Structure 1
Amino acid sequence: MSRLSAEFDQIYMEHSDKIFSYIFLLVKDNGVAEDLTQDTFIKVYKSFEDFKGDSSIYTWIIKIARNTTIDYLKRKNRFAFFRIDQFRLESNESSPPEILLKNENVKILYDAIKSLKLNYQEVIILRKIKGFSIKEVSTILDWDETKVKNTSTRALAGLKRELMKRGESNEKAL
């Protein structure tokens, strides 16, 4: 096995689940997310020698995954989020009514995020759901850090407005 192949295998094992999860947030279809994850890692393999190390390998791969997914969505002329309520929330510490309330609050939050414009959705997903730093988000989206900060602030304000419009207090849904 070549050094590149062994290194790629390690990168794939370490990051493929996280990349799939990110793509799934955008396309809400398991099969499509699997295909796009595979396409992403084919692109990563083909361009691995071009990785300069200006960011973490994960940030670089997320950027490739984002571009691959956005290209797919443009071809399909749609953008969608998954509905959180189709997943079970498992917890050994919560009672069934608490679990139902958490699921409902998460659904409300995702419905509110889904109603925001695409730039706001992406920033919220990358910063608040996936936990990327401002610098990493600027790399992924090809924006300067100031734009990421400003868009994050506006996106969160828009999310709060949307939650208020829906009659939800921020604390309840967040």
Structure 2
Amino acid sequence: MLEVNGLQFDYLNHITGGLDKNLVLEELMQAYGKEVWNFAYFLTRRAELADDVTQDVFVKVYERLYSFRGQSSVKTWLFAITRNTAKDALHSSWLRKVILLPVWRQREVHPSAEKEHLDRQVTEEIWSVVLSLPRKLREVLLLHTHHGLSLKEIAAVLQISEGTVKSRLHRARAAVNRQLGEGDS
């Protein structure tokens, strides 16, 4: 069962029940579009390229909709397509610019200007450290902490073993902690 916005439905039933591909694609875009874009942005570090990658991902999803076998979650399937599409886009472009990604939202209704400034500095420092990690460590860390994928799902997206995922996640966390700790001294 796939759960979208609190509603459960059997994805394969949608497909085999003869529903319109456009309707299924629209549901997938509404349910996962923002996460696909965020992952594409993380991988490409360019909003315009993330837009293009996201569009390409959903075109590929539309073309391959009936080939989804349900061996992984739909989210895992989408992230694998996103990763491969972003990789192709990066290989064919001249991008190498690092852009910091502000992700944390203010939870306070009226934070002080000083608090906003400090929060922004901390966020930029953390993302600077995360983005300085080698790609293999960055991917695992983002998929686990930001997108909430399990080790098994990350292994499926990256096509590596769960043990490798665990190792990379441990190394990524250690590197972030080490670099942030050095900044305090």
TM-score by length of 1: 0.86
TM-score by length of 2: 0.81
Q: How far apart, CA to CA, are the structure 1 residues paired with 2:130 and 2:61? A: 30
In the TM superposition, residue 50 of structure 1 has moved relative to its aligned partner by 1.3
Other structure's SS at 1:143 match: coil
In the TM superposition, residue 120 of structure 1 has moved relative to its aligned partner by 0.7
Question: Would you say how many aligned residue pairs link Structure 1 and Structure 2?
Answer: 167
**Is the CA contact (8 Å cut-off) linking 2:151 and 2:165 kept in structure 1?**
yes
**Is the CA contact (8 Å cut-off) linking 1:28 and 1:82 kept in structure 2?**
yes
The amino acid that maps onto 2:109 is: N
1:122-145: CA deviations, max 9, x gaps? Answer: 111111122211111111100111
Structure 1 gap segments, 5+ residues each? 170-174
Structure 2 gap segments, 5+ residues each? 1-17
1:91-148: CA deviations, max 9, x gaps? Answer: 4153221121111111001111121111011111111122211111111100111110
In the TM superposition, residue 88 of structure 1 has moved relative to its aligned partner by 9.1
Q: Name the residue aligned to 2:115.
A: 98
Q: Name the residue aligned to 2:4.
A: none
**Is the CA contact (8 Å cut-off) linking 1:84 and 1:103 kept in structure 2?**
no
Q: Name the residue aligned to 1:23.
A: 40
* Alpha-carbon RMSD: 2.2
Q: Name the residue aligned to 2:124.
A: 107
**Is the CA contact (8 Å cut-off) linking 2:41 and 2:47 kept in structure 1?**
yes
**Is the CA contact (8 Å cut-off) linking 1:80 and 1:114 kept in structure 2?**
no
In the TM superposition, residue 66 of structure 1 has moved relative to its aligned partner by 0.7
